[in-house]
Amino acid sequence: MKLKDLESCLQQVDTFEEPKVLLEQYPTSPHIAACMLYTIHSSFDDIEGKLVADLGCGCGVLSIGAAMLDAGLCVGFDIDEDALDIFRRNAEEFELTNVDLVQCDICCLEAEAYAQKFDTVIMNPPFGTKHKELRYDLPASYKFHKKKSVDIEVDFMRFSKT
């Protein structure tokens, strides 16, 4: 699948209907998601046929993209049942069979031991780091946001077990 085709498909993914400020729910844009996933897939061969974990998956844009890039299985983890309901509907719309959902607080997982069970772990872009930089157009999601959107810098990082 080409990058532009992946981004086009991800534009069809529904996002938060009512984002929860306490959970800091911001949708990952189709452009950012496609760029991240395409790089992980084409540069590092870390998606196709792999067992992929999506931590804090929200509505599932990264999981769905990984599934479209032929992940063996992508498991999305999120604490919010409402977000997982949207994820479930998205996965059904795309008729994906290589995704699964787990409702849990990922902060409570024993991260190192748990991560060993997956080939690849993905998550929304981390904020406030200094590595490969991407631009993230963060739309106004809450009533207290005064601007329509804000363009912020985020980083793309890859960690390897080896």
Residue 12 maps to a domain:
yes
Q: Is residue 91 part of a domain?
A: yes
Whether this prediction's pTM lies above 0.85 is answered by: no
- Is position 154 within any domain? no
Q: What is the CATH number of the domain that holds 101?
A: 3.40.50.150
Segment 72-127, tens digit of pLDDT: 999 999 999 999 999 999 999 999 999 999 998 876 555 566 667 899 989 886 54
Phi-psi category of residue 8: left, alpha or beta, with phi > 0 → left and psi -120 to 50 → alpha: alpha
Count the domains in the chain.
Answer: 1
* Assigned domain for 29 exists: yes
Residue 155 in domain? no
Q: Is residue 39 part of a domain?
A: yes
What's the burial of 15, exposed, middle or buried (CB within 10 Å: 0-12/13-18/19+)? buried
